[in-house]
Amino acid sequence: MNEKKSDLLQGTLDMLILKTVALGPIHGYGISLRIQQISQEVLQVQQGSLYPALHRLEHRGWLTAEWGESENGRMAKFYQLTAAGRQQLVAEAENWQRLSQAVTLIMALEGGTK
Amino acid sequence: MRFWKTWFRRAQDDRQLDAELQFHLDSRAEALRAQGLSPAEARRRARLEFGGVDQISEECRDSRPARWLYDLAQDLHYAWRMMKKSPLVSAAAVLSLALGIGANTAIFSLLDAILLRELPVAKPGELVVLNWQTKQGFAGRRSERFFERYSGSIQPPGMVGNAFSYAAYEALHAQAKDFAPVAAFLEMNRFSVAARGNTHAVSGQLVSGSYFPMLGIEARVGRLLSAEDDRAGAPATAVVSHRFYERALGADPAQIGQVIRVNNVAATVVGVTPPSFYGHEVGAHPDITLTLPHLRELDPEFVKGMGDPFTNRTSWAIQMLARLRDPAMPLAQLETRLSPLLLSTLETVPVKPELIPRLRLEPAARGISGLRRGINVTFGVLLGSTMLVLLIASANVANLLLARAMGRRREIAVRLSMGASRSRLWRQISSEFLLLAVLGATASLLIAYLAPAWLVTLLPSRGEEELTLPLRFDWRLLLSTAGFALGITFLFGAIPAWRATRLNVTGALKENSGSLGADAGRGRLGKLLIVGQVALSLLLLAAAGMFVRTLDNLHAVDLGFVRDRIVLFTLNAAQVGYGAQQRPAFYERTARELERIAGVESVSASLIRPLMGGGYWDDVSSPKFETKGRKTIGVGVHMGLPGFASTLGVKVLAGRDLDERDGAKSPKVMVVNETFAREAYGGRNPVGESVMLGDPKAVSYQIVGLVRDGRYSRLHEKTATVYVAAVQQETMPEQMTFAVRTRTSPAQLLPLVRAAVARVEPNIPLVQLRTLDDQVDEFLRPERLLAILGGTFALLALALSAVGIFGVMAYQAGRRRQEIGVRLALGAGRGRILSMVLRESVVTVLCGILLGLPLALLLPKLVDNLLYGLKASDPRAFLAAALVLLATALAAAWIPAWRAARLDPVAALREE
């Protein structure tokens, strides 16, 4: 039924959400817009993944949420990073650094491509 | 914390989730409108981009930590609605589960108190009981023995004994640094305690000063005994149980410091143990505790018979408990380290290494108990029975839910085809069982609360007093109740769930309610459950039949004497200060005083109380015995006042009973019974023969009378018995059991008997004053327990099975309405329909009987020593059980069969 995303992808989405929320309190719609904008339309977050991920992160205690007025005057649920979430973000960022460097190193090898 | 917050806020969470997603949709639609789309089109596009809202919110809910609990609550809510639809059936299901679970919990509660509960002392896990062990038993040569006299138990393998010399205790106490500390004790069956003008016969113990400090308990009032009380020459001090404090001392703190008389020895009450404390042995509950050195004054006869344990290293009677300094140390290592201490205290060390005793330590967190050994088999049977009852009840409920689930097969098929997961449906269906089990378990607590106290009264009592067990209604009971409820849910809740989710989706969707054969699978499973129920019921019925007949047989046993007009009671003259020289006169005077009561026909006494399972056993020998090679016969001896046999109503067949002529100075004579005459003389009249009585010191006796057989120690067997006069023996017994035969019903004479004894000696307690009838009942308690409970469980099983058969047959007949309608329309007679339904039920039950019979045939072997007067091959119990089951099945199936036969074919066929 609901296909489970691979760990890498799921972990990456979590990290992106944490990073986006780290910039300041933001609601779910805002997060999807911001990721899209900052990544210059490369990354498009499916709502089907975004909201379950937000709730999961909230239940893990990495995010807290509060209802507040949005820019268009409606009530929206604003997410905010907790101390634990900040630590998690640092850890995941470091992890991501290592991983992407490693991938870059391998891909930088001469030959094969082309 | 968070878990519960989520749990209680779930409704609010749901609203917020909806609002959050709605906000997203609205915002996106607004953005699209800003790009120039019409409002309607913008909303449509936003929804399309977003994807399935319900699916996403479901996934968000999945991420909640209490998700499973939320589902469970939903399932239970649904199950509750299903239950309310048929309240009567549901109530019956809950009731049967309540009975099944309650019976188990009640038996478990007894088991818990006797077998599982730790002593109410500080850190019971550190306690060990000390035993000694040898590799072999004594072969009989006296020189090999390291003790002369022994009071305690000795059991195989080799010998494992629990009694030591006092010297062994002293050595271990002074030198065993691994114990912190070791305590010695000596159980005393009967103390006669005079306090505040009344005399009480109570059980008590003598302990070392280290006993209470070792157990680590605090006095409820006053203080407990300490090393100070254990010094040689210390004044007698006593600690009483809280029970005794309330009953005999009026719960009056001013009684602490007062002097009471214990076996006629003055002792100061210094304190009271806590109410929860029952000693170190379950079921024992000593009421009074003094220190060991006072043994000499308190029980001079014991010292005389056993030798002074304080000075004599060959007199072994002291038992020991110890607290380990280091509970982590392996016991085997300690045994090796401490055994030399035991060895150093032996009077003589055996030459054969196999006979050298070695210390053996056993964990004693649960105390030590003689009760455990005796009732294990009985309890095994009871627990087994209650388990079977629970299985039968559970099968009923499973069958009920199976019918319900199959009634919903279309709905289930629809949900499966819409993508509901099987495990989710499984959980939902089995949660219906869970709900019934939880309700049943809750109702069963009432049984678990009330029944154990009643069960204790069915258990064999402990001498005068009913058994006192530390029964408590606590978390252990709640836990076991919950365990039973969950256990049956896992076992039986799975059955309907498994069957219902296994269905073929397309088949179930296509079929219409009237199709034939579609339910064959469900019918089979339901009948299979019935077969199992019947097999188990057969077991219970057969067992109950055997237990009831055992009790009947025992009640019908010809005791050889009248049983309805005899009063028995025991007097211990030694305890109240009568020496061996004074006792004959005392017993004589008591008998005369009793004879003066109007309505008393005759009075006599014997050392042995008949039919209490005890006895005084000795050997009779003669070269003239007409036995093959055997010149010695083991006999039970009645040693007492003249005329004991006649007083009991045992007929004199030849010669005479003992009488006044047989005094201390006259020639030694004995009266023998028929069994003895048969064993020794092939049944011919032995009057006039000379025999030797006693081993090893034999004394010559002349047989002066032959009497009928009277049961001696137990109801179960005939014993070769001889009657001798106590005054002709070397020592006068310390205690005697008086038999008083009355002309009328003896119950109203009891107070007169009490008064008559008090006129002779006001300080002596009458122990176990009761009629012989009551005593027989008392003796048969284990058998009665089995007959009553076995019968109850069997009836319960029968009723539950009947309900099960009725349910399945009614369901089957209901599903086959159309088929039956067709048959009737085609001309089948109503009698034919009736017999068709009945036959189905009978065949099912016969299958169950065939399955249960081989199991039931194993029963007599399994419980052999609980039965009396039954042959293992006796088919009656099984036959009766099978017939009862068949009759029950016919009766249970009658209503559905009758209804099926009276079906209106037109109406049945029109239904669709």
B60 touching A, CB under 8 A?
A: yes
Q: Do residues B702 and B743 both lie within one domain? A: yes
pLDDT tens-place string over residues A41-79: 777 777 778 888 888 888 888 999 888 888 878 888 999
Q: In whole angstroms, give the CA distance from residue B630 to residue B618.
A: 15
Q: What would the pLDDT profile of B503-537 be if each residue is shown by its tens digit?
A: 776 666 666 544 444 444 556 788 888 899 999 99
Q: Whole-angstrom Cα distance, residue B318 to residue B305?
A: 15
Structure tokens at A60: 């893990």
Choosing from B742, B763, B784, the residue where a domain stops is B763
Calculate Rg over the CA atoms of chain A: 16
Region B283-308: mean pLDDT is 85
Contact A77 B19 (CB under 8 A): yes
- The answer to whether B24 contacts A29, with C-beta atoms less than 8 Å apart, is yes
Which is more confident, A11 or B253?
Answer: B253
Please give the interface size between A and B, counted as residue pairs whose CB atoms are below 8 Å apart: 66
Tokens of B378: 């009985």
Judge whether B260 lies within some domain. Answer: yes
How confident is the model at residue B258, as a pLDDT? Answer: 92
Mutation for testing the B interface, residue in A2, A44, A59, A64 having most B CBs under 10 Å: A59
The average confidence (pLDDT) of chain B is: 85
| pLDDT score of A8 | 44
According to DSSP, the residues that pair with B358 across neighbouring strands are: B133
Is residue B841 within 8 A of residue B890, CB to CB? The reply is yes
Query: Residue B127: what are its φ and ψ, rounded to 5°?
Result: -85, 140
The domain total for chain B is: 5
Q: Evaluate whether residue B564 is within a structural domain.
A: no
Note whether B714 and B611 are within 8 A (CB).
yes
Over residues A2-24, the mean pLDDT reads 69
Residue B768 located in a structural domain: no
Domains of chain A (ranges, CATH numbers): 7-107 (1.10.10.10)
Residues 6+ apart with CB under 8 A from B567: B739, B740, B742, B746, B749, B750, B753, B769, B770, B771, B772
CA angle A86, A89, A93 (to 5 degrees): 145
- The answer to the question of residue B845 being in a domain is yes
DSSP B732-769: --SEEEEEEEESS-GGGGHHHHHHHHHHH-TT---EEE
C-alpha distances (whole Å) from B405 to each of B424, B478, B496 are 14, 30, 7
The DSSP code for B704 is E
Identify the burial level of B778 via C-beta atoms within 10 angstroms of its C-beta, where 0-12 means exposed, 13-18 middle and 19 or more buried: middle
Contacts of A32 in chain B (CB under 8 A): 24
pLDDT of B634 > 90? The answer is no
The predicted pLDDT at position B454 comes to 85
Residues on chain B touching A1 (C-beta within 8 angstroms): 419, 421
Residue B512: its pLDDT value, please? Answer: 54
**Position B373 confidence tier, pLDDT thresholds 50, 70, 90:** low
Confidence of residue A10 (pLDDT cuts 50, 70, 90): low
Please list the residues that pair with B692 across neighbouring strands. B621, B700
Kindly determine whether residue A75 and residue B55, on different chains, have CB atoms separated by under 8 Å: no
Q: Tell me if B565 is assigned to some domain.
A: no
Q: A2: pLDDT confidence band, cut at 50, 70 and 90?
A: very low
* Nearest residue in B to A32, CA atom: B24
Asked if B453 and B70 touch (Cβ cutoff 8 Å), the reply is no
Residues B601 and B546 in one domain: no
User: Is B828 inside any structural domain?
Assistant: yes
Contact call for B24 and A28, based on CB within 8 A:
yes
Q: What is the average per-residue pLDDT within B223-235?
A: 91
Residue B832 contacts by C-beta under 8 Å, 6 or more apart in sequence?
Answer: B823
State the pLDDT at residue B736. 93
What value does the mean pLDDT take over residues B626-632?
Answer: 76
DSSP labels, B625-645: --SSS--EEEEEEEEESTTHH
User: Is the CA virtual torsion B738, B741, B742, B746 positive or negative?
Assistant: positive
* Interface residues of chain A, partner chain B, Cβ below 8 Å: 1-2, 27-29, 32, 46-48, 51-52, 54-56, 59, 61, 67, 70, 72, 74-77
Same structural domain for residues B165 and B300?
yes
What is the tens place of the pLDDT at every residue in B190-227? Answer: 788 988 888 888 889 999 999 999 999 999 999 999 99
Please, are residues B882 and B484 in contact by the beta-carbon 8 Å criterion? no
Interchain CB distance below 8 Å, A59 and B64: yes
Tell me the pLDDT tens digit for each residue of B97-128.
Answer: 999 999 999 888 888 887 777 888 888 889 99
Q: Which residues of chain A have a CB within 8 Å of the CB of B60?
A: 51-52, 54-55
Within this chain, do residues B261 and B131 fall inside the same structural domain, yes or no? Answer: yes
Choose one of B345, B365, B385: the last residue of a domain. Answer: B365
| Beta-sheet strands, E only, within B749-885 | 767-771
Q: Do B27 and A51 touch (CB under 8 A)?
A: no
| Percentage of residues in chain B having pLDDT higher than 90 | 29
For residue B702, what pLDDT is reported? 94
Average pLDDT over residues B278-300: 87
> How buried is B692 (Cβ within 10 angstroms: 0-12 exposed, 13-18 middle, 19+ buried)?
middle
- Is B252 touching A (CB cutoff 8 A)? no
In this prediction, residue B266 has a pLDDT band, given cuts at 50, 70 and 90, of: very high
Give CA separation, B808 vs B63, B289, B522, B524, in Å. 43, 63, 10, 10
* Residue B354 sits in the same domain as residue B219: yes
Same domain, B143 and B190: yes
Distance from CA of A98 to the nearest CA of B (A): 29
Q: Which residue type, as a one-letter code, is found at position B494? A: A
Q: Do B27 and A74 touch (CB under 8 A)?
A: yes
pLDDT at A7 over 70: no
Looking at the structure, do residues B148 and B262 belong to the same domain, yes or no?
Answer: yes
Pairing relation of β-strands B721-725 and B632-640?
parallel
Do B99 and B193 reside in the same domain of the chain?
A: no
The last residue of a domain, from among B703, B737, B763: B763
> Are residues B50 and B85 located together in one domain of the fold?
no
Q: What is the pLDDT of residues B743-760, one digit of tens each?
A: 988 888 888 998 999 899
B729-735: average pLDDT: 85
pLDDT in tens, B388-442: 999 999 998 888 888 888 777 788 888 887 777 788 888 888 888 899 999 999 9
Tally of CB atoms within 10 A around B851: 16
Mean pLDDT of B610-635: 82
Residue B95 sits at φ, ψ, to 5 deg, of -65, -45
Contact by Cβ (8 Å): B332, B109: no
Chain A residues whose CB is inside 8 A of the B23 CB are 27-29, 70, 74-77
Residue B568 confidence (pLDDT): 92
Chain A contact for B50, CB < 8 A?
yes
For residue B379, what are the domain limits? Answer: 67-117+371-511
Mutation to test the A interface, candidates B9, B16, B22, B23, most A Cβ within 10 Å? B23
Question: Nearest residue of A to residue B29 by CA position?
Answer: A29
Q: Structure tokens of B202?
A: 């109570």
Within a domain: B597: yes
Task: Please check whether residues B759 and B883 belong to one and the same domain.
Answer: no
- pLDDT value for A87: 92
Query: Are both B107 and B160 inside the same structural domain?
Result: no
pLDDT digits (tens, 9 = 90+) for B660-675: 899 888 999 999 999 9
Contact by Cβ (8 Å): B191, B267: no
Residue A51 to chain B, least CA–CA distance (Å): 6
**Same structural domain, B236 and B155:** yes
Asked if residue B743 lies in contact with residue B682, where contact means CB atoms within 8 angstroms, the answer is: no
Task: Name residue, tokens 């003992």.
Answer: B658
Mean pLDDT of A24-39: 87
Across B5-14, B628-637, B774-783, least confident range? B5-14
Supply the pLDDT for residue B515.
45
Give dist(CA B541, CA B799) in Å, integer: 12
Q: Angle, to 10 degrees, between the axis of helix B10-34 and the axis of helix B39-50?
A: 130
Asked if the C-beta of B51 comes within 8 angstroms of chain A's C-beta atoms, the answer is yes
With respect to residue B769, please indicate whether it lies within any of the assigned structural domains: no
Question: A48 vs B56: CB contact, 8 Å cut-off?
Answer: yes
